[in-house]
Amino acid sequence: MLRVLIPVDGSENADRAVGFVIRKAPLYKEPLEIHLLNVQHPFPGTIRGVHKEAEQVHHEEGLKALAAARKQLDAAGVKYVFHISVGEVPEVILHYVTDRKIQQIVMGARGLGTVAGLLLGSVTTKVLHLVEVPVLLVK
Amino acid sequence: MDFIAEIQTPLFWAGLMTIIWVNIILSGDNAVVIALAARSLPKHQQNKAVFWGAGAAVILRIVLTIVAVELLKYPYLKIIGGLLLFWIAVKLLMPEDGGDDIESSDNLIQAIKTILIADLVMSLDNVIAVAAAAKGSILLLVLGLLISIPLVIFGATLLMKLMERYPIIVVIGAALIGAVAGEMLVTDPVLINWVHAKMPWMDIHVPLLGELSWAQIVGAVSVVVLGKWLAARAERAETKVVDLAAGDQQAK
């Protein structure tokens, strides 16, 4: 089993990364254990007393961001697990890589927040610095 | 009271930009709390909760603005206000903390209680920041107040979307509040002469983005550095990264 993590932020680039994994999956010698991950940016820390409701909103927004990716995978009949967490994206990705013993990351080169003209998004760049596993960038 | 002349100074526009940005963050997060607290209520009660919650926030802003403008003339209060604002600005950059929920708002009374407590604290932040950024200009003060009102009433959805797409807006807002806090601290009647004497560089103005004082620059930079550092530290110390989808039906 090759454990692959695909961070998805709802951007088209992320969805292309998912499409790429679907197409290339048969090329791998081992079956893939695919993990989708959406990381929600937290509300500012001045919010008080509404933690449970905030989590609900994060959960819903996470499901929205993952929807297109999940649709592709479901249509192709590919098995996957999905996760939604809140926090700083690169650090949360690192957490899952360690926690789930991920062996490879496939992610978009640029994401939703990327400033036009940058070759690599800031999240992608930070992930490249943080993780020890191979990272495959899809444009 | 020459508003026409005042509008033509760059200081006015810099002050206005600051106040608009600060209001977006500090009225917006108040609006977000109101919207979130009302979420778990049945539809017809939601409107009531938002109405009362936003109404209370508006009244608090008006009352507190009048009080704050007077109080800020007294010694030590600018120091307290400045430190408070500094803390708020840093907190903006940290993730929401799970600790302080009363039980969840599934009835109207509970929701209103949550909203009113939040309103009190969050209106105070907003008012201090605007009063300090206005620097004595009545025009800016009133404009600041007026801008905050629709933001508190209608701002929740807008701000939630904005913060999601462009978290940098909050960082810039926090930096601006830090700048206001820095300026407040060194202009307290108790400190102002001491600062002039011992740290004259603090009120040297830099012709950068329209006359910034070093107090503002130091305030802004320290907020962002401290906030980011604390957020990263919280993230790493956080042994429980929660998977919100853990209970969801996964593809089998």
Q: Is residue B228 scored above 50 in pLDDT?
A: yes
Give the per-residue pLDDT at B138.
Answer: 86
Q: Does position A64 have pLDDT exceeding 70, yes or no?
A: yes
Token pair listed for B101 = 């929920």
Instruction: Determine the average pLDDT of the residues in B64-82.
Output: 87
The C-alpha atoms of residue B75 and residue B59 are separated, in whole angstroms, by 27
**pLDDT above 70 (res B91):** yes
pLDDT of residue B103: 57
Residue with tokens 């800016």: B140
For range A105-125, the mean pLDDT: 86
More confident residue, B21 or B101: B21
- Smallest Cα distance from B8 to chain A, Å: 34
Assign 3-class secondary structure to chain A. CEEEEEECCCCHHHHHHHHHHHHHHHHCCCCEEEEEEEEECCCECCCCCCHHHHHHHHHHHHHHHHHHHHHHHHHCCCCEEEEEEECCHHHHHHHHHHHCCCCEEEEECCCCCCCCCCCCCHHHHHHHHHCCCCEEEEC
B119-161 confidence digits (pLDDT tens): 898 899 899 999 988 888 888 889 998 998 888 888 888 888 8
Closest Cα of chain B to A9: distance in Å? 10
What are the beta bridge partners of residue A108?
A138
- Answer yes or no: is pLDDT of A72 > 60: yes
With CA atoms as reference, the chain B residue closest to A88 would be: B235
Task: Give yes or no for residue B224 having a pLDDT over 50.
Answer: yes
pLDDT for the residue numbered B252: 46
Q: Which residues of B touch A112 (CB under 8 A)?
A: 165
**Model-level ipTM above the cut of 0.90:** no
**Section B62-83 average pLDDT:** 88
Q: What are the Cα distances from residue B249, in Å, to A97, B105, B113, B222, B233?
A: 22, 26, 35, 45, 33
Of A50, A83, A85, the CB nearest to B36: A50
pLDDT grade, residue B202 (50/70/90)? low
Residue B230 clears pLDDT 70, i.e. is over it: yes
Residues of B in contact with A44 (CB under 8 A): 25, 29, 91-93, 96, 163, 170
- Cβ–Cβ below 8 Å for A88 and B118: no
pLDDT at B208 over 70: no
Q: Determine the average pLDDT of the residues in B6-27.
A: 86
Confidence of residue A111 (pLDDT cuts 50, 70, 90): confident
Q: Which residue has the tokens 């929401």?
A: B96
Average pLDDT, chain B: 84
A-chain CB neighbours of B169 within 8 Å are none
pLDDT of residue B238: 61
pLDDT-based confidence at residue B226 (cuts at 50, 70, 90): very high
Please name which of B146, B116, B144 lies closest in space to residue B128, comparing C-alpha atoms: B144
Interface of A to B at Cβ within 8 Å reads 40-59, 61-63, 70, 73-74, 79-88, 91-92, 95-96, 99, 112-113
The burial class, CB within 10 Å (0-12 / 13-18 / 19+), for B129 is buried
Chain A residue with CA closest to B40: the answer is A53
Which residues of chain B does A81 touch, with a Cβ-Cβ cutoff of 8 Å?
A: 250-251
Q: Give tens-digit pLDDT for A93-109.
A: 999 999 999 999 999 99
Q: Which two tokens stand for residue A110?
A: 């640029």
Report, as an integer, the average pLDDT of B183-209.
75
- The partner residue sitting opposite A50, judged by closest CB among B37, B232, B250, is B37
Residues of A in contact with B91 (CB under 8 A): 44-46
pLDDT value at position A119?
A: 83
Averaged pLDDT for residues A31-54: 90
Q: Compute the distance between CA of residue A108 and CA of residue A124 in angstroms, rounded to an integer.
A: 8
B207, pLDDT greater than 80: no
Radius of gyration, alpha carbons of chain B: 20
Q: How far apart are CA A76 and CA B192, in angstroms?
A: 69
Percentage of chain B beyond pLDDT 90 is 20
Examine the pLDDT at B239 and tell me if it is beyond 90. no
Residue B7 above 90 pLDDT? Answer: no
Of B91, B164, B250, the CB nearest to A46: B91
Helix (H) or strand (E) holding B182: helix B168-186
- Closest CB to A47 among B32, B246, B252: B32
Which of A99-113, B162-176, B230-244 is least confident? B230-244
Pairs across A and B, CB distance < 8 A = 134
Residues from chain A that touch B166, judged by Cβ atoms under 8 A, are 113
The alpha-carbon gap from A27 to the nearest alpha carbon of chain B, in Å, equals 22
Chain B neighbors of A42, CB-CB under 8 A: 95-96
**B160 Cβ partners below 8 Å, 6+ apart?**
A43, A57, B32, B35
For residue B246, the model assigns a pLDDT of 82
**Chain B residue closest in CA terms to A75:** B251
Spell out which residues of chain A touch residue B170, defining contact as CB-CB under 8 Å. Answer: 44
Cα–Cα distance measured from residue B34 to residue B223, given in angstroms and rounded to the nearest whole number: 26
The per-residue pLDDT for B130 is 92
A79 and B94: CB-CB below 8 Å?
no
pLDDT at B162 over 90: no
B157: helix, coil or strand? helix
